[in-house]
């Protein structure tokens, strides 16, 4: 993807008193009382918004939350306002809609440096349809456009893509840029040796990522539920572990591809098996080639942790996507947490460590090591698509630098 023009290139004169439409990703988890349970994505929007506030822009924030079908109060963006206001040090005004007269009035009354948050853009079905009329209405609210919603950049929606056709300039925010610098830049031109760690539940959801990374990495470490498909493809018995029978051929061809590319591919040599998928399961450590009937593999074992950690010692860049085991259950979180700790230590010695979104980010946050990593992606699907080598429509639509 070509380099995109950045919000940092805009001078005070370009934004002072101007209405700036900033697409952010405030799709944050809420509990049953509609309290924000993880504010990572809110915090990540702050540098761009503050930059614009300090230069006297009038800021219109837009986001989606969840996947509502029409106007649904539980998907309102109101619950993010207190935390956002606190982080920005101003009272963020909550609009009652994302387009229309009332919204226009609120924006007209906005002082320089003021911030208004539009209501969930997905309350309009036109948003996800990337309807040009809806995009035009959003665009009519502002003078210029900033996209900082990395987590939604893989969606060609009205507020991420359509709107750029009606608003110039259309530039990338600081979060968007940082995500691209790491997930595209560091992966395309890594300091070597370059290792990828790929886990998660299924090989089928990671085929694109594995194939793309095999072109770039020196070392590929696999963990999580997908390893049992690889074991079975090699003729091991896997008990009642998760296996994708229709992907056995694919697993074999990925192993062959790694060999032909000279990539050192590591599978766990031992696993933690359990007699059921539950916190109170009986569990034991067995060699990868010795999973007993009736037992399922739910984590990588201590020998694998040792080997993986040792192998990572020599690296200069590591990217990680997907947990090593069922980390949501404490007793099967050991492998995932050990990898998180190893990466935190490596970061401290100058290794570039990139956590590619989704559950691996949750795992790193759970052990309190998020701020030790070089980069933690705020995008799940978006980061996977980038790692697969795809271009993101929300990025493509922005002005070239
Ligand atoms: N051995 C295993 N057996 C079954 N499930 C597993 C195993 N190891 C990991 N998992 C599960 O895999 C899930 C994560 O897989 P997923 O492919 O969604 O990872 P991710 O890419 O990090 O997340 P996302 O898709 O949100 O980006 C976790 O819920 C975890 O419990
Ligand atoms: O959480 C995400 O991955 C983004 O906010 C995109 O949400 P979506 O998958 O509902 O488009």
Query: What residues contact residue 207 under an 8 Å CB cut-off, 6+ apart?
Result: 247, 250, 254
Task: Indicate whether 218 and 166 sit together in one domain.
Answer: no
Q: How far is residue 101's CA from residue 109's CA, in Å, rounded to a whole number?
A: 12
Q: What's the pLDDT at 318? A: 97
Task: Indicate whether 159 and 186 sit together in one domain.
Answer: no
Domain boundary among 174, 199, 233: 174
Tell me which residue range forms the domain holding 193.
182-387
Mutate to test the pocket of ligand 1, among 224, 295, 363 (most ligand atoms within 8 A of CB): 224
Sheet holding 194-198, edge to edge: 264-266, 219-222, 194-198, 317-321, 352-355, 375-376
| C-alpha 222 – ligand 1 centre gap (Å) | 12
Task: Indicate whether 307 and 227 sit together in one domain.
Answer: yes
Sorting pLDDT into bands at 50, 70 and 90, what band is 359? confident
Task: Indicate whether 134 and 212 sit together in one domain.
Answer: no
> Is residue 356 lining ligand 1, measured as CB closer than 6 Å?
no
Domain boundary among 140, 174, 208: 174
Q: Are 188 and 389 in contact (CB under 8 A)?
A: no
Q: Are 7 and 44 in contact (CB under 8 A)?
A: no
Residue 400 lies in a domain: no
Q: What's the pLDDT at 1? A: 65
Q: Report the atom number in ligand 2 closest to the C-alpha of 379.
A: 3
Return the structure tokens found at 197.
């760690």
The ligand placed nearest to the CA atom of residue 357 is 1
Q: How far is residue 242's CA from residue 76's CA, in Å, rounded to a whole number?
A: 37
Q: What is the mean pLDDT of residues 295-322?
A: 97
Residue 397 lies in a domain: no
Residue 197 lies in a domain: yes
Collapsing DSSP to helix, strand or coil, 325 comes out as coil
> Is residue 360 lining ligand 1, measured as CB closer than 6 Å?
yes
The ligand placed nearest to the CA atom of residue 383 is 1
Number of domains in the chain: 2
Residue 368 lies in a domain: yes
Residue 91 lies in a domain: yes
Catalytic amino acids? Answer: 41, 202, 358, 381
Q: Is 23 annotated for ligand binding? A: no
Q: How far is residue 288's CA from residue 223's CA, in Å, rounded to a whole number?
A: 12
Q: What is the mean pLDDT of residues 117-129?
A: 98
Task: Indicate whether 127 and 203 sit together in one domain.
Answer: no
Q: Is 96 annotated for ligand binding? A: no
Q: Are 354 and 323 in contact (CB under 8 A)?
A: no
Mutate to test the pocket of ligand 2, among 23, 24, 25 (most ligand atoms within 8 A of CB): 25
Task: Indicate whether 166 and 145 sit together in one domain.
Answer: yes
Q: Report the atom number in ligand 2 closest to the C-alpha of 380.
A: 3
**pLDDT per residue as tens digits for the range 237-293:** 999 999 999 999 999 999 999 999 999 999 999 999 999 999 999 999 999 999 999
Q: How far is residue 164's CA from residue 173's CA, in Å, rounded to a whole number?
A: 14
Task: Indicate whether 161 and 206 sit together in one domain.
Answer: no
Q: What is the mean pLDDT of residues 329-358?
A: 95
Task: Indicate whether 170 and 222 sit together in one domain.
Answer: no
Sorting pLDDT into bands at 50, 70 and 90, what band is 145? very high
Domain boundary among 174, 194, 216: 174
| C-alpha 322 – ligand 1 centre gap (Å) | 6
Return the structure tokens found at 93.
């005004």
Nearest CA to ligand 1 atom 2: 225
Q: pTM, whole model, 2 decimals?
A: 0.91
Task: Indicate whether 229 and 378 sit together in one domain.
Answer: yes
CATH number for the domain spanning 103: value is 3.40.50.1260
| C-alpha 170 – ligand 2 centre gap (Å) | 21
* Residues facing residue 299 across a β-bridge: 272
Q: Which of 194, 217, 213 is nearest to 353 (CA)?
A: 194
Complex ipTM, two decimals? 0.93
> Is residue 151 lining ligand 2, measured as CB closer than 6 Å?
yes
């Amino acid at each position: 993807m070509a380099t995109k023009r950045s919000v940092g290139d805009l001078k005070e004169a370009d934004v002072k008193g101007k209405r700036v439409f900033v697409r952010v990703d405030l799709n944050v988890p809420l509990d049953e009382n509609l309290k924000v349970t993880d504010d990572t994505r809110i915090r990540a929007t702050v540098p761009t918004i503050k930059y614009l506030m300090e230069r006297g822009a009038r800021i219109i924030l837009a986001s989606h939350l969840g996947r509502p079908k029409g106007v649904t109060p539980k998907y309102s963006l109101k619950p993010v306002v207190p935390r956002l206001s606190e982080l920005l040090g101003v009272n963020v005004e909550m609009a009652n809609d994302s387009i229309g007269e009332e919204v226009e009035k609120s924006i007209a009354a906005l002082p320089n440096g003021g911030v208004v948050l539009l209501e969930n853009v997905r309350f309009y079905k036109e948003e996800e349809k990337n309807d040009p009329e809806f995009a035009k209405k959003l665009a009519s609210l502002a003078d210029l456009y900033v996209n900082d919603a990395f987590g939604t950049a893989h969606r060609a929606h009205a507020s991420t893509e359509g709107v750029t056709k009606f608003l110039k300039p259309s530039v990338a925010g600081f979060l968007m840029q940082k995500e691209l610098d790491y997930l595209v830049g560091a992966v395309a031109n890594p300091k070597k040796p370059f290792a990828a760690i790929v886990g998660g539940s299924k090989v089928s959801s990671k085929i694109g990522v594995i194939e793309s990374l095999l072109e770039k990495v020196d070392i590929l470490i696999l963990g999580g539920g997908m390893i049992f498909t690889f074991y079975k493809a090699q003729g091991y018995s896997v008990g009642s572990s998760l296996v994708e029978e229709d992907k056995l051929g694919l697993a074999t061809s990925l192993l062959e591809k790694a060999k032909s590319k000279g990539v050192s591919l590591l599978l766990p040599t031992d696993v933690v098996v359990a007699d059921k998928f539950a916190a109170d399961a009986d569990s034991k450590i067995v060699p990868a080639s010795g999973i007993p009937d009736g037992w399922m593999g739910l984590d990588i074992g201590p020998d694998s942790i040792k080997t993986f950690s040792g192998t990572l010692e020599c690296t200069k860049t590591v990217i990680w996507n997907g947990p090593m085991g069922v980390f949501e259950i404490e007793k099967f979180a050991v492998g995932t947490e050990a990898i998180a700790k190893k990466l935190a230590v490596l970061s401290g010695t100058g290794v570039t460590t990139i956590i590619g979104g989704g559950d691996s980010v949750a795992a790193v946050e759970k052990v309190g090591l998020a701020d030790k990593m070089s980069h933690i992606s705020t995008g799940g699907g978006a980061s996977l698509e980038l790692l697969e080598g795809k271009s993101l429509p929300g990025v493509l639509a922005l002005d070239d630098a």
